[in-house]
A and B are shown apart, each in its own frame.
Chain A
Amino acid sequence: MSRRVPLVAALAGALVVEAIALIALREAPLARWGYVAAAVVFAASTVQAAPPVALASRLAHGAWGIPVRRLAELCGLSTLITVPVVVALLARLPDWHLRPSVWLDWPGAPLLWDTVAVMLLALAGCALALVPLRQARSLVQWRSRQLAATILGTLYLMCLVFVHVLLSSDLAMSLVPGWASPNFAAYQAVSSLQGGAAFVTLLLAVTNRHAERTFHALGKILLSLSLLWFYFTWSELLTYWYGRTPAEIALLSLLMFGPTLWLFVATALGAFVVPVTLLIWNPVRNSVRGPCVAAGLILLGLLLDRVRVYVAAWTVAGPVRERLEDVPVALLLPRLPELLAALAIVAAAVLLVALALPRPTVVVQRKRELAEAA
């Protein structure tokens, strides 16, 4: 049996579960949709944020990136999974009249324009994953293929950052009265690049553990992006901490120190403290296992971060007000439908990439060499 058959079955199963769970959630209160939003943004911050790793290595002419470029670019396909869910989430948003938006009351905003943006991202992702598939038969062809990958990668990165700005503003900030932080949009984009690098690291660990040089380079990237995670979080915290307006006190309470305190602490540990502590040591960073452990922790940290922000935002969503008056004591725990929907979204995105992956020829080759040597 082809290795693809179980993958296709699993993907179909995940999509069916996702559809059933979303239908079951149709009449559910807004707070429960927060988990779906968190899952979509988590997928957009990990699997879908992988292609920029390939672009970085192309732009820097880094040979370290060769084993990982194709893997990273194929992750662009996962955008197909999230488009319908984003549309469902946008349709579920409460009354839009006077609600803040980066679209500034354009007709059809945000549903129409956000949908156009995520579809553009999906288009760029598919083009990036599919166009360079044709085998190059000459140097000219090879060069044009590289150029196409660089241009499409740049386009994809721009769309990805734009979509993160939209998701962070329309699915999080606009729901929380008094929250208008440009830094949060940038934070989400930067942390998604961190998640993308972490996902690529784990993907490489699964497909080709012998690319030591690539793991070392990814270790450096993860270290610098983890430091950036702290920088953006600190900028947000410090400005609100010093501002101390009633709206800012409520925001700090909602997102960092109130019902989300433990999620915030766990995020900080997973996305910053432990990875930086590990990767700052040369022997750990220059190993294969070190970057992989750090990548796993970063993904866990980002998952908790997205739950922290999006569940909190959807919990307090309501009529447009100047500031948040009541901060909930605790966040709503997920029930089966939203839990299944969230799991299915992430699983479907990963399975689609797994389905598109080429045969791990390098590993096979290496095994053959080892067998011959033995």
Chain B
Amino acid sequence: MSVATSTRINSDLLAFVLRTPRWFWIIGAGLAAVVGIGVLTETVMIVVGLQIMGLSNTVYWAVLITNFIFWVGISHAGVMISAILRLTQAEWRRPITRCAEVLAIFALLTAAMFPLIHSGRVWRTIYWVFPYDFTRNIWPDIRSALVWDPSAILTYLTGTVLFVYVGLIPDLAVARDRATGFKHLLYAALAMGFRGTTRQWKLQHTAGLLLAALILPVFVSVHSIVAWDLSMAILPAWHTTILAPYFVIGAVHSGVAGVVMVMAALRRGLKLQDYIQRRHFETIGRLQIVVAFGYLLFLLLDFYFGLFSRDPIEERIWELRLFESPTNLLLFTQVSTTVLIPLPIWFVARLRSNPAVMFWTSTLLNVGMWLERYILVVTPQSLKQPFVFTWVSTYEPRPAEYVFTVASFALVAIGLLVFAKVLPIIPLWEVKEGASSGS
């Protein structure tokens, strides 16, 4: 690769890091305001109590837990795409790996907040970790899936941060060499003396591959454990063997769509058309087709075997989902937006390679995936009163829950924006490596 090409890549991809456009402040302020409203709502909830949400005796896992599951799901595909493509040495991965990984980190951090908010008294979550009664030696029950959750999420978060950081080191060194003042000191500290020697490159490459291989089982286990939070309870439609794989395939489905949304937004916002090209959307669109078929299979299995069991409560839950408003509308929207609308569009190569089309189909898909999580979490609880097999309208989301949901999207967006401002969102060294290998 020529020096001119290398210089051009450096200046293109570091442009947003080293210079701040005005729109950054406007959009950043807007997103921060939304997050601020969310923080305010949380403060009110701490003072007033959980009654500002629509929870009831029967439905006490609702929108907040839906958000938790949704964001854990989004966090999955980021690392999955990056790790699998790295392990299989797929050349087209180069410009998109980091936005996928960074999306994973911010989605996971956002997800981890929701069980804390859901607890009502955030500070009391300390009792989940430490014994709250020393004299009676009471500890959290390690056989509970609820206790596996924090350990799985923390392991995944640690692994993902390490994975991103190892990939960032060469770029931090480039930023260090081009920055001045405080930024220079910051990048120098983070680059850990990386000078690009052969040994350093070899170590960085090996560490990246090892982390990629190690993080894959963790990513599968995290969402499985989230599913087991539900399926370990003996509640019809929750207590089903397929919930873990169904959650994982759903996570991949929504996560890949999340990566496409971020790719399209960054491409337009940071003017990265030369790096995030139409062929990248075309290729990731193919991946989306395969994942969508897998998701459809598990969706149908969940439905068919719900009826196969001939359990009256489970049949009633499906009746509620299929025939009673508003749940049937939500289910119809879910199936339409996750499978019926995007699949035919993605089958057309010209549409698949259009960033705007991919952005909007992926956005629709994620709306559907959020609804899917909501239906999975809420409807079985609605029928869980003993000996009552009729639909009782016990739960309806209140404004506070909508605010938390919107604020979570703003929080992830602001995280991505700030990351892209501070560090290169497209890996310089990967793009250069690709350019030098002619891919």
Q: Chain A: residues with CB nearer than 8 A to chain B?
A: 59, 98, 100-102, 104, 158, 161, 165, 169, 173, 180-186, 227, 231-232, 235-236, 238-240, 242-243, 245
Tell me whether A186 and B310 are in contact in the complex, defined as CB-CB below 8 angstroms, given that A236-B241, A240-B241 are known contacts: no
Chain A contacts of B298 at CB under 8 A?
182, 186
Contact of B305 among A98, A185, A231 (CB under 8 A): A185
- State how many angstroms separate the Cβ of A159 from the closest Cβ of chain B: 13
Interchain CB contact under 8 A, B244 and A235: yes
Chain B contacts of A239 at CB under 8 A?
228, 231-232, 239-241, 243
Measured in the bound complex, the distance between the Cα atoms of B219 and A227 in whole Å is 14
Interchain CB contact under 8 A, A180 and B305: yes
Most buried by B among A184, A232, A243: A243
Is chain B's interface secondary structure helix, strand, loop, or mixed overall? helix
Interchain CB contact under 8 A, B290 and A182: no
B150 near A: Cβ within 8 Å? no
In chain A, what residue has the closest Cβ to B239? Answer: A243
Chain A contacts of B224 at CB under 8 A?
231, 235
Interchain CB contact under 8 A, A186 and B239: no
Chain A contacts of B242 at CB under 8 A?
181-183, 186, 235
Measured in the bound complex, the distance between the Cα atoms of B406 and A159 in whole Å is 42
Interchain CB contact under 8 A, A165 and B301: yes
Chain A contacts of B220 at CB under 8 A?
231
B356 near A: Cβ within 8 Å? no
Most buried by A among B234, B293, B308: B308
Chain B contacts of A100 at CB under 8 A?
308-310
Interchain CB contact under 8 A, A169 and B241: no
B138 near A: Cβ within 8 Å? no
B245 near A: Cβ within 8 Å? yes
Interchain CB contact under 8 A, A182 and B232: no
- State how many angstroms separate the Cβ of A236 from the closest Cβ of chain B: 5
- State how many angstroms separate the Cβ of B2 from the closest Cβ of chain A: 29
Interchain CB contact under 8 A, B310 and A182: no
B307 near A: Cβ within 8 Å? yes
Interchain CB contact under 8 A, A227 and B217: yes
Is chain A's interface secondary structure helix, strand, loop, or mixed overall? helix
B12 near A: Cβ within 8 Å? no
Measured in the bound complex, the distance between the Cα atoms of B413 and A46 in whole Å is 47
4 more contacts with CB within 8 A, not counting A169-B308, A180-B311, A239-B240, are A169-B305, A182-B242, A235-B242, A242-B145
Interchain CB contact under 8 A, A181 and B232: no
Chain B contacts of A158 at CB under 8 A?
293
Contact of B297 among A59, A101, A161, A231 (CB under 8 A): A161
Interchain CB contact under 8 A, A184 and B241: yes
Chain B contacts of A245 at CB under 8 A?
234
Chain B contacts of A184 at CB under 8 A?
241
Chain A contacts of B244 at CB under 8 A?
183, 231, 235
| 13 pairs from A and B in contact (CB 8 Å cutoff) | A101-B308, A161-B297, A169-B308, A181-B240, A181-B242, A182-B240, A182-B304, A183-B240, A186-B301, A235-B245, A239-B239, A239-B240, A243-B232
Chain B contacts of A231 at CB under 8 A?
220, 224, 244-245
B286 near A: Cβ within 8 Å? yes
Measured in the bound complex, the distance between the Cα atoms of B243 and A243 in whole Å is 14
Interchain CB contact under 8 A, B232 and A186: no
Chain A contacts of B297 at CB under 8 A?
161, 186
Interchain CB contact under 8 A, A242 and B232: yes
| A-facing residues in B225-266 (Cβ within 8 Å) | 228, 231-232, 234, 239-245
- State how many angstroms separate the Cβ of A240 from the closest Cβ of chain B: 7
Interchain CB contact under 8 A, A181 and B245: no
Measured in the bound complex, the distance between the Cα atoms of B293 and A59 in whole Å is 14
Chain B contacts of A238 at CB under 8 A?
228, 232
- State how many angstroms separate the Cβ of B278 from the closest Cβ of chain A: 18
Measured in the bound complex, the distance between the Cα atoms of B220 and A57 in whole Å is 24
Chain A contacts of B311 at CB under 8 A?
180
Chain B contacts of A101 at CB under 8 A?
308
In chain A, what residue has the closest Cβ to B309? Answer: A180
Measured in the bound complex, the distance between the Cα atoms of B371 and A200 in whole Å is 41
Measured in the bound complex, the distance between the Cα atoms of B310 and A183 in whole Å is 17
| A-facing residues in B275-328 (Cβ within 8 Å) | 286, 290, 293, 297-298, 301-302, 304-305, 307-311
In chain B, what residue has the closest Cβ to A104? Answer: B307
Interchain CB contact under 8 A, B309 and A59: no
Measured in the bound complex, the distance between the Cα atoms of B231 and A63 in whole Å is 42
- State how many angstroms separate the Cβ of A255 from the closest Cβ of chain B: 12
Most buried by B among A158, A240, A242: A242
Contact of A59 among B145, B231, B290, B310 (CB under 8 A): B290
Chain B contacts of A165 at CB under 8 A?
301, 304
Most buried by A among B241, B244, B286: B241
Interchain CB contact under 8 A, B304 and A183: no
Top 9 A-B pairs, shortest CB-CB distance: A183-B241, A180-B309, A182-B305, A182-B242, A182-B301, A183-B242, A242-B232, A181-B241, A239-B241
Most buried by A among B145, B220, B243, B245: B245
Measured in the bound complex, the distance between the Cα atoms of B239 and A25 in whole Å is 39
Chain B contacts of A161 at CB under 8 A?
297
Tell me whether A185 and B307 are in contact in the complex, defined as CB-CB below 8 angstroms, given that A227-B217, A239-B231, A243-B239 are known contacts: no
Measured in the bound complex, the distance between the Cα atoms of B286 and A84 in whole Å is 37
Chain B contacts of A98 at CB under 8 A?
310
Measured in the bound complex, the distance between the Cα atoms of B311 and A357 in whole Å is 49
In chain A, what residue has the closest Cβ to B84? Answer: A224
